[in-house]
Amino acid sequence: MKTMIERKTDNSRFFEVLPRLASIFLIVLFTTVVNAQNVTMVGILPSEKEAVEDFSVRAGLGSATDEYLSPNEYNGFSIGIKLDRMSRRNEKKMFCYSKNRSSLLFCDMKNEAGNGVQLEVAGSVVHVWETPLLHYKYYDLLVGPSVCGSIDALYNLRNSNNPANVHGMLAAGLEFDNLFRFKVGRLPIALNASFNMPFTGIFFVPEYNLPYYLLFEERLYGKTIHFMNPFNVTCLYNDVAFFFPVGKNQLSLSMSMDCTVHNLGGNATVISHCLFGLGYVHRFEHKYNGR
């Protein structure tokens, strides 16, 4: 078509995603060259018969472009909570770490022109089974499969006929955890760099112009459930957290980034968040299979 030639392709969005991806790379690289020092029991890694919970309150920025609602990018302020729970499971001579991550966030966004408001509520639950691939005195590399369920609802206050869109995902993926223990002066610090990428599963998003009215009232489901793979959905989660003791307690300072990019159903979608969190870490006794 004539306009396909005349239309300008703006790659600015690609270059917006690029620094986020580059930062993931740099963070992982950084974590590998940190000079590790003495070992202490700080951090998210539990010892035998122990579980560790990190409950954090988070705030930061969010960005969403969902062509089902609007081709424009909406940006705004995000707040949320996150609970990481890690326990150790012993199976005969083998052991693995069982990790749960539940998060909920709310984002209030505006378009560039400042005359449109879009709200976002997103929740996810991830479960990971990780085994130590590398284990040193000051460093552990844990790798394992993950399953995740997430739902992301966007509500555009200007659209009267198609005001909302929901993206849902049930997927399997991989998680990497880089855990470092070192000291700054006399302060023992743990650093945990997590990286998760769901790469296969099912993804719910309505087809192109399928109104939710037809979906629910007339039960026209169309092709709303899609099989996802790394080439049609990119979903990344990266979290870097410092754990340090404060008196008898342990706190965490974290920065997490997530990005979901897909073109399923014919509408391009880019959703990303960058959140900073302050968490309270709780270690407690945990028995597995009564042992």
Partner 1 sequence: MRKTIIKNMIAVAVLLCFSFCSCQQLEAIKDCYPNTPQGNFEALWNIMDTHYCFFELKQRDYGVDWDEVHDRYKTLIDDKMSDLSLFEVLSNMLGELKDGHVNLYGKYDVGRNWTWKTDYPSNLSPEIRERYLGDDYNIAASGCFYTILSDNIGYLVIESFSGSIPDSKLDAILNWFSICNGMIIDIRGNGGGILTEAEKVASRFTEEKILCGYVKYKKGPGRNDFSKPEPVFVKPAKDRLRWQKPVAVLVNRECFSSANDFAVKMKALPGTALFGDRTGGGGGLPFSSELPNGWSVRFSSAPMFDADMNDIEGGIDPDYSVSLSENDRAKGIDSLIETARKWINDMILNP
Interface of this chain with partner 1, residues 69 to 98, rule: CB under 8 A: 70-72
8 Å CB contact between 116 and 108: no
Tell me how far apart the alpha carbons of residues 147 and 212 are, in angstroms, rounded to a whole number: 28
What would the x/- binding string for partner 1 be over residues 148 to 167, using CB under 8 A? Answer: --------x-xxxxx-----
Q: Which residue type, as a one-letter code, is found at position 221?
A: Y
Q: Does residue 47 belong to the site contacting partner 1 (CB under 8 A)? A: no
- From 60, 57, 169, 71, select the one nearest 118 (Cα to Cα): 71
Minimum CB distance to partner 1 smaller for 40 or for 72: 72
Half-sphere exposure of 129 (CA within 13 A, CB side): 9
Tell me how far apart the alpha carbons of residues 95 and 93 are, in angstroms, rounded to a whole number: 7
Q: Which of 2, 92, 93, 291 binds partner 1 (CB under 8 A)?
A: 2
Minimum CB distance to partner 1 smaller for 55 or for 212: 212
Tell me how far apart the alpha carbons of residues 203 and 226 are, in angstroms, rounded to a whole number: 5
Minimum CB distance to partner 1 smaller for 29 or for 187: 29
Minimum CB distance to partner 1 smaller for 47 or for 232: 232
Considering the complex, what minimum distance in angstroms separates the CB of residue 155 from partner 1? 13
Tell me how far apart the alpha carbons of residues 74 and 117 are, in angstroms, rounded to a whole number: 8
Assigned token pair, 45: 């890694």
Q: Which residue type, as a one-letter code, is found at position 265?
A: G
Per CB under 8 A, which of residues 245..264 are in contact with partner 1? 261-263
Considering the complex, what minimum distance in angstroms separates the CB of residue 199 from partner 1? 7
Stretch of residues binding partner 1 (CB under 8 A), selected from 43-51, 195-203, 241-249, 276-284: 195-203
E strands present in 185-268: 187-204, 225-228, 233-246, 249-262
Stretch of residues binding partner 1 (CB under 8 A), selected from 42-50, 92-100, 202-210, 274-282: 202-210
- From 281, 286, 250, select the one nearest 48 (Cα to Cα): 286
Per CB under 8 A, which of residues 229..248 are in contact with partner 1? 230-234, 236
Minimum CB distance to partner 1 smaller for 104 or for 141: 141
Considering the complex, what minimum distance in angstroms separates the CB of residue 44 from partner 1? 18
Give the torsion through C-alpha atoms of 210, 214, 220, 224, to 10 deg. Answer: 40
Tell me how far apart the alpha carbons of residues 223 and 204 are, in angstroms, rounded to a whole number: 9
Stretch of residues binding partner 1 (CB under 8 A), selected from 7-15, 56-64, 98-106, 144-152: 7-15
Q: Which of 209, 227, 246, 287 binds partner 1 (CB under 8 A)?
A: 209
Per CB under 8 A, which of residues 91..150 are in contact with partner 1? 111-116, 133-134, 136, 139, 141
Phi and psi of 2, rounded to 5°? -55, -45
Give how many residues touch partner 1 by CB under 8 A. 71
Considering the complex, what minimum distance in angstroms separates the CB of residue 141 from partner 1? 6
8 Å CB contact between 188 and 204: no
Considering the complex, what minimum distance in angstroms separates the CB of residue 93 from partner 1? 24
Considering the complex, what minimum distance in angstroms separates the CB of residue 243 from partner 1? 20
Considering the complex, what minimum distance in angstroms separates the CB of residue 168 from partner 1? 19
Tell me how far apart the alpha carbons of residues 116 and 44 are, in angstroms, rounded to a whole number: 41
